[in-house]
Chain A
């Protein structure tokens, strides 16, 4: 069974960088695409971005992001640890949300999700 687990700080200060990691088990991280999605009461569910075409040997992949994040997001991968990560720079209170990682079926649907991690942006 595919499982994903988010981890990272639950509180980030304004203007700093939010950093989260998703650990994948039950599936080869090199064989699929992987996304980050967030959810707020006000804006609902928002796709942040994904990493795909993962190269195990170079520990890298291609990425694509939601333009709404104005280039603040960066997704990276560590195939040796079966993890992928999200960094979101220059955060504000508007970035307070539940953050989910998910398996992304070739830029279509999201078929397995982590349980989510709540991140608050506050001084």
Chain B
């Protein structure tokens, strides 16, 4: 199965700062990659799919890039509601798998 490795494990930033999260796949998944945001006590919420397409209702401060094995999620200016866990998920291989997550916390 495709293993997704996210880095860093934790990102400590202040509101208004730029966040850059990485997801690396153990084998190529083309652009078949999604990103999710999860707040404590809530289900994950789809942010990005197809590596760079924003899901419905997702603000344009969220952007995704990459293909093959290396992917990036960028949050241009962190808003207070953006803190929490972020997960990548691939659908280029079977079974579909998730990364272990990056925690974005308030500095």
Please list the residues of chain A having a beta carbon within 8 angstroms of any beta carbon in chain B: 44-47, 66-68, 100, 102, 105, 107-111, 113-116
Beta-carbon contact of B98 and A46 below 8 Å: yes
Contact of B44 among A46, A66, A105, A113 (CB under 8 A): A113
Q: CB-nearest residue of chain A relative to B33?
A: A109
Contact of B43 among A46, A108, A115 (CB under 8 A): A115
Q: CB-nearest residue of chain A relative to B95?
A: A66
| 21 A–B pairs (Cβ distance < 8 Å), ordered by A | A44-B87, A44-B98, A44-B99, A44-B100, A44-B101, A45-B89, A46-B98, A47-B98, A100-B43, A100-B44, A102-B43, A105-B49, A110-B34, A110-B36, A110-B89, A111-B46, A111-B49, A113-B43, A113-B44, A113-B45, A115-B43
Q: CB-nearest residue of chain B relative to A48?
A: B95
Beta-carbon contact of A47 and B97 below 8 Å: yes
